[in-house]
Structure 1
Amino acid sequence: MNHPTRRSALLAGAGAATAVGLAACGSADQETSSGTAASSGGSGTTTVKLQLQWVTQGQFAGYFAALDQGYYSDEGLDVQILEGGSDIVPQTVLAQGQADYAIAWVPKALASREQGAAITNVAQIYQRSGTLQVSFTKTGITAVEGLKGKKVGNWGFGNEYELFAAMTAAGLDPSSDVELVQQQFDMLGLLQGDIDAAQAMTYNEFAQLLEAENPDTGSLFTAADFNVLNWNDVGTAMLQDAVWASTEKLADTAYQQQTVKFLKASIKGWVFARDNPEEARDIVVAKGSTLGASHQLWQVNEVNKLVWPAAGGAGLIDATAWEQTVQIAMDTKNAEGQTVITEEPDEDAWTNDYVQQALDELTSAGVDVKGAAFAPETVTLAAGGA
């Protein structure tokens, strides 16, 4: 579904040829006709900085694949991928002009927007949530109601809202019906028995459990050892990894063109990761990932499940999923009684204008942007993810 904004008129006025024309050019000291600064790389390419929300890993395989396979350079872009970390807020880096695009979860980015960050979601790469709540089967937690009276781990920092929304919908008060435990970004709390149900991403922490040794058997744990609450099934999933752009710069034709080109190459990178998961894994490992090869293949495979299939095309923002995310962000309170946002975001919060153009171009070139036949691989994890 296309979300019309005031930028639609700008794009229409520019015409299809302009929208897909040459990449913006100039130098760091030059300005475009609208006064927006542009930077140039070598050989007439435009330098573009992409801020990730975490370190180099399979979570971002599509962007690394697009860089490695030359998809960005094919569009006249010299893309520099900036690693994230615990002390880096990608949407803030974008809003402050230190990056051209950023990868961030929608609720976190919406909170930043409400606080003044002028950013717009231009492509929803992850179509589904990758967050789980995991417990050992012996705890008997097979439904959200089963969390009552249990020690429930969560990372905080806006990662807890799907969990809190699920508990609220199940009639549980997160502040009194469970014992909330501040969880580290690992699974040690669950493995050591300090947490009954721990937060995990399908593509990372859940794999950490399956890479750990079961002390009762001497073998690695298996999926059968755990119960999993999946927020996509429960109905409280929120949109996660999306490409965010500068709202103010989207008023500039050159930045609009650049955005289409960037999204086109990025989506092509995700298509590569879908069709070549082992090669995508190797690319990520070569880029400096500190995680092992089997863990990274698991990541790429699980992330592919979040991206594909994409009914409207990879990156297209689904209005229903957006509205659900916004509603949960406005209605669900954290342990301190605060919601993610206090009011519905304005129309500049998202647009399908640019990603739709990118999808149309790729489709015309014969690229499968929907992945209807996508089938994930079966990945065997090694001890420690090696």
Structure 2
Amino acid sequence: MRKWSALLAVGALALCSLASAQNLVKVNLQLKWFPQAQFAGFFVAKERGFYKAQGLDVTLLPAGDQSPIQVVVSGAADFGTTWIADLLTAREKGLPVVHIAQMFQKSGFTLVSLKSSGIKDLCAIKGKSVGVWPSGNEYPVVALFRKCGLTSSLDPKVSNPDVTAVTYPFDPALVFPNRVQLVSAMTYNEVDQIIGLGYDESKLDIFPLADHGINLLEDNIFTTEKVLNDKNFKGSGMSGREIAARLIKASLQGWDWAVKNQAETVEKYVLPFCGNTCKGSGTRSGAKEHQTWQMTEVAKLYNAGPTLKGWAGFLVPAEYQASVKLLRDQNILSKDPPAAAVDYGPWEQATGKKASDYK
């Protein structure tokens, strides 16, 4: 009898586990780029069961031919990650996207030149060529040009621009240094790739745009008004706002764990998933070394500002308003975004904090 009782107990436990798995709410999260340490916290949240503990079955979608905003607005994904400039410009175009959490608290956007080019002042680059990225990733550079009073070939109305912008698909080896004197580079990715092309750091000038007043934050979590207003998300019995709060809570758990356990995160949760993107083109080292570099650098972007005060994922209102002002001053935005462009509700529900209490 004891044997049968034990078997029945095991069978009941298996059925409960199966039922629990069947009750998980399926959620698609569209990442801004291909799998790499830039998204380590999300990998950790999935693989260590943080999403599952929140009742979510999260699929992490790598970047495709469309921007994350297009994918989420189309309904092919429920949530996405993107940059604040891209989100706000999309909002002005009438797309009902909503910022719900800010994962990186400092911009990692830089421009890189060879020291031999003699560039010491980003506002003194008239006659130079600059490598820029497409699909909304050019806005930080556009803001810099306009802040410096420089015209560029990105503006079709300008016939004789001060600066020639050369659009390239994210691999600096395609344009630098033969076609451009300055090239866009994230601290956690392309900087290491450029060094791998044979240009030691001692031969480079690296200009963080944040040091020049262009601190447009990257890597937020966003969704649409439709998702947030859904009273019964995918028939789960939970609202879209509840799902958003659960996603944020588990994602923050994942990021906190990843930042505290960087070596293990790279080994167990990044390298198994990043495939061909593990080793950046031109990178000086192997896949593990490049992803370790990337993990170290993204940890700095996450572990800054409000995160250091215990407010991870919080979009500081003053930082947000500074971004809006910058984008408006440079005519990238023609008006202030509507209040609905940012919704603190899901983050507040996820963390138990009130946005109004931030100091």
TM-score range, shorter chain: 0.7 to 0.9
1:302 matched residue in structure 2:
297
Normalised by the size of structure 2, how large is the TM-score?
0.80
Residues 142 and 228 in structure 1, CA contact (< 8 A), matched pair in contact too: no
The question of 1:197 aligning with 2:182 is answered yes
1:356 to 337, 341, 348: 348
Structure 2 CA distance for aligned equivalents of residues 171 and 288 of structure 1: 40
Partner SS for 2:165? strand
What is the correspondence of 1:303-382 to structure 2 with a 5 Å cutoff? Answer: 303-311=298-306, 312=309, 313-332=311-330, 339=332, 341-360=333-352
Q: Which residue of 2 aligns with 1:166?
A: 144
The answer to whether structure 1 residue 280 and structure 2 residue 265 are counterparts is yes
- Hey, what does 2:10 align to over in structure 1? none
Q: What's the counterpart of residue 119 of structure 2? A: 141
Cα offset for 1:140? 1.7
Alignment correspondent of 1:102: 80
Whole-Å separation in 2 of the counterparts to 1:141 and 1:354: 45
| Higher Cα radius of gyration | 2
Paired letter, 2:239: A
Alignment-derived partner of residue 157 in structure 2: none
Distance 1:108 1:249 in 2: 19
CA distance in 1, matches of 2:326, 2:211: 15
1:110 is paired with a residue whose SS is helix
Aligned to 2:356: none
| Deviation of 1:192 (Å) | 4.3
User: How many angstroms does 1:160 deviate by?
Assistant: 2.4
**Structure 2 CA distance for partners of 1:329 and 1:46, relative to 1, 3 Å:** same
* Whole-angstrom distance in 2 between the partners of 1:112 and 1:158: 9
Compared CA separation, residues 140 and 99, structure 1 to 2 (3 A)? same
Mapping for residues 134-283 of structure 1, pairs under 5 Å? 134-175=112-153, 176-189=161-174, 191-213=176-198, 221-251=199-229, 252=231, 254-282=239-267, 283=269
Q: For the Cα contact (< 8 Å) 1:142–1:229, is it kept in 2?
A: no
Residue 308 (structure 1) shift: 0.8
* CA distance in structure 1 between the partners assigned to 2:74 and 2:143 by the alignment: 32
Name the structure 1 match of 2:284. Answer: none
Amino acid in the other structure paired with 1:114: E
For residues 172 and 124 of structure 2, the distance between their equivalents in structure 1, rounded to whole angstroms, comes to 20
Equivalent residue runs for 1:61-72 within 5 Å: 61-72=40-51
Cα 1:145–1:240 shift into 2, 3 Å: same
**Aligned-partner Cα distance in 1 for 2:348–2:201:** 38
RMSD across aligned positions (CA) = 2.2
TM alignment of 1:68-107, pairs within 5 A: 68-85=47-64, 87-107=65-85
Distance (Å, rounded) in 2 between the aligned partners of 1:194 and 1:115: 33
Query: Partner of 1:145: helix, strand, or coil?
Result: coil
Cα pair distance change 1:168/1:117, threshold 3 Å: closer
Q: 5+ residue gaps in structure 2?
A: 1-18, 154-160, 232-237, 279-286, 354-359
CA distance in 2, matches of 1:293, 1:165: 34
Q: Deviations over 1:265-313 (max 9, x none)?
A: 0001111111111122121111243221111111111111111124251
Return the letter of the residue paired with 1:286.
P
What amino acid is the match of 2:342? W
- Residue 146 of structure 1 aligns to a residue whose secondary structure is coil
Kindly, what percent of the aligned residue pairs are identical?
A: 31
Which amino acid letter does the alignment assign opposite residue 65 of structure 1?
Answer: V
- Hey, what does 2:24 align to over in structure 1? 45
Identify which range, 155-164 or 133-142, moves more after superposition: 155-164
In the alignment, the residues of structure 2 paired with residue 146 and residue 226 of structure 1 have an alpha-carbon distance, to the nearest angstrom, of: 17
Question: Take 2:87 and 2:187, find their aligned partners in 1: how far apart are those partners?
Answer: 21
SS in 2 for 1:289: helix
Amino acid at match of 1:250: L
SS in 1 for 2:239: helix
In the alignment, the residues of structure 2 paired with residue 100 and residue 164 of structure 1 have an alpha-carbon distance, to the nearest angstrom, of 30
Q: Helix, strand or coil for the counterpart of 2:59? A: strand
How high is the TM-score relative to the length of structure 1?
0.75
CA distance in 2 between partners of 1:192 and 1:231 (Å): 20
How far is 1:41 from its partner? 7.9
Do the aligned partners of residues 190 and 140 (structure 1) sit closer, same or farther apart at CA in structure 2, a change above 3 Å counting? farther
Q: Which runs of 5+ in 1 are unaligned?
A: 1-39, 214-220, 334-338, 362-386
* 1:41–1:78 contact (8 Å) kept in structure 2: no
Task: Say which SS state the counterpart of residue 180 (structure 1) adopts.
Answer: strand
Contact 2:271–2:288 (Cα < 8 Å) also in 1: yes
After TM superposition, give the deviation of residue 203 of structure 1 in Å. Answer: 1.2
Distance 1:148 1:270, change over 3 A: same
